[in-house]
């Protein structure tokens, strides 16, 4: 991964970021998987710090509940985008980009958060259709959505794309199969986009940056599915890990590029 530039933030500074109250003012940010778990908390937190959010997920009722909560708390009313990332086509993503362009003109942030666990089983026995579902939702859709939104992200003064990885993305582990491979792929994708958008004498047109967050073990449905015998009260809640998510979307992190930030290092 790209090394931290000398004037940039350390990972400790990102994890322990103290956001100023309006640090996301004026930013339009799309969050995938915004109806539940970490994504729901991130969406509400981004609004709290001044952003307008676009809530993308596959279950409209969950997204509408988050939208109502945001509006009732006095935040900018969010857009609700029902999209199943397993089946959405490139044409549907292009159509989404056109609608965002019409309504907002640009986009300042994109958090790829939606994901599924798949099976915890040896690769030798891994079911192909589950493997393909996991790869499509956790990995391929990140590529498709980023590609579709790239022109709008480049219009932002300081655009930020965050991918979501996991400990098994940086270090694959037996039995974690497609999930681990999808997260490895996501880390590679972030690095490639980072290199391809680097400011050089030939390419001066964007400040867009790409980074990965590994939230670490967090109290959500996915974690409970992965570790059914664990006592969830020992885990951090999504609310406990928001500082890193805010930091990497705010202009405090404009020099942070190509990093994989572990929010709960051991």
Ligand X SMILES: NC(=O)c1ccc[n+]([C@@H]2O[C@H](COP(=O)([O-])OP(=O)(O)OC[C@H]3O[C@@H](n4cnc5c(N)ncnc54)[C@H](OP(=O)(O)O)[C@@H]3O)[C@@H](O)[C@H]2O)c1
- Name which of 211, 212, 193 is nearest 203 in CA terms: 193
Determine how many CB atoms are found less than 10 A away from the CB of residue 219: 18
Q: Of residues 90-119, which lie at the interface with ligand X (CB under 6 A)?
A: 113-116
How far is it, in rounded angstroms, from Cα 146 to Cα 204? 20
- Name which of 56, 104, 101 is nearest 82 in CA terms: 56
Which of 14, 43, 50, 62 is in the footprint of ligand X by CB under 6 A?
Answer: 62
- Name which of 43, 32, 54 is nearest 100 in CA terms: 54
Q: Which is nearer to ligand X, 116 or 249 (CB)?
A: 116
Q: Of residues 188-227, which lie at the interface with ligand X (CB under 6 A)?
A: 214-215, 217-218, 220-223
Q: Which is nearer to ligand X, 143 or 254 (CB)?
A: 143
Give how many residues touch ligand X by CB under 6 A: 28
Q: Which is nearer to ligand X, 74 or 228 (CB)?
A: 228
Distance of closest approach, residue 153 Cβ to ligand X, in angstroms? 20
**Contact status: 254 vs ligand X (CB under 6 A):** no
Instruction: Give yes or no for a contact between 135 and 180, defined as CB atoms under 8 angstroms apart.
Output: no
Taking CB under 6 A as the binding criterion, the range among 5-13, 18-26, 81-89, 151-159 that sits at the site for ligand X is: 81-89
Q: Which is nearer to ligand X, 39 or 109 (CB)?
A: 39
Q: Of residues 222-241, which lie at the interface with ligand X (CB under 6 A)?
A: 222-223
Which of 27, 58, 209, 257 is in the footprint of ligand X by CB under 6 A?
Answer: 58
Which positions from 147 to 176 touch ligand X by CB under 6 A, shown as an x/- string? -----------------x-x----------
From residue 180, how far is each of 116, 206, 226 by CA, in Å?
Answer: 11, 31, 13
Q: Which is nearer to ligand X, 215 or 258 (CB)?
A: 215
**Contact status: 57 vs ligand X (CB under 6 A):** yes
Instruction: Give yes or no for a contact between 41 and 240, defined as CB atoms under 8 angstroms apart.
Output: no
How far is it, in rounded angstroms, from Cα 30 to Cα 66? 14
**Contact status: 137 vs ligand X (CB under 6 A):** yes
**Contact status: 50 vs ligand X (CB under 6 A):** no
Q: Of residues 17-36, which lie at the interface with ligand X (CB under 6 A)?
A: 33, 35-36
How far is it, in rounded angstroms, from Cα 123 to Cα 127? 8
SS3 53: strand
- Name which of 13, 117, 42 is nearest 54 in CA terms: 42
The continuous run of DSSP H or E covering 177 comes out as helix 177-196
How far is it, in rounded angstroms, from Cα 185 to Cα 119? 18
How far is it, in rounded angstroms, from Cα 28 to Cα 154? 13
Distance of closest approach, residue 89 Cβ to ligand X, in angstroms? 13
List interacting residues with ligand X (CB under 6 A).
Answer: 33, 35-39, 57-59, 62, 84-86, 113-116, 137, 164, 166, 214-215, 217-218, 220-223
Enzyme catalytic residues = 179
């Amino acid at each position: 991964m790209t090394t931290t530039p000398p004037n940039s933030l350390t990972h400790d500074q990102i994890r322990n970021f103290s956001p100023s109250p309006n640090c996301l003012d004026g930013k339009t940010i799309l969050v995938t998987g915004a109806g539940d778990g970490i994504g729901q908390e991130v969406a509400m937190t981004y609004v709290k710090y001044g952003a307008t959010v676009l809530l993308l997920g596959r279950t409209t009722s969950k997204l509408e509940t988050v939208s109502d909560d945001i509006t009732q708390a006095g935040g900018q009313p969010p857009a609700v985008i029902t999209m199943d990332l397993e089946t959405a086509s490139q044409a549907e993503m292009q159509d989404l980009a056109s609608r965002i362009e019409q309504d907002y003109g640009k986009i300042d942030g994109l958090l790829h958060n939606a994901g599924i666990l798949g099976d915890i089983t040896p690769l030798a026995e891994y079911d192909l259709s589950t493997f393909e579902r996991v790869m499509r939702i956790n990995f391929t859709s990140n590529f498709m959505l980023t590609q579709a939104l790239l022109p709008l992200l480049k219009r932002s003064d300081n655009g930020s794309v965050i991918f979501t990885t996991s400990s098994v993305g940086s270090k694959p582990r037996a039995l974690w199969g497609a999930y681990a491979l999808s997260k490895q792929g996501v880390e590679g994708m972030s690095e490639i986009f980072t290199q391809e958008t680097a400011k050089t004498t030939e390419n001066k047109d964007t400040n867009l940056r790409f980074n990965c967050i590994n939230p670490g073990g967090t109290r959500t449905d996915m974690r409970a599915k992965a570790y059914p015998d664990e006592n969830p009260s020992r885990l951090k809640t999504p609310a406990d890990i928001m500082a890193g998510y805010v930091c990497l979307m705010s202009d405090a992190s404009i020099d942070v590029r190509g990093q994989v930030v572990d929010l709960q290092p051991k």
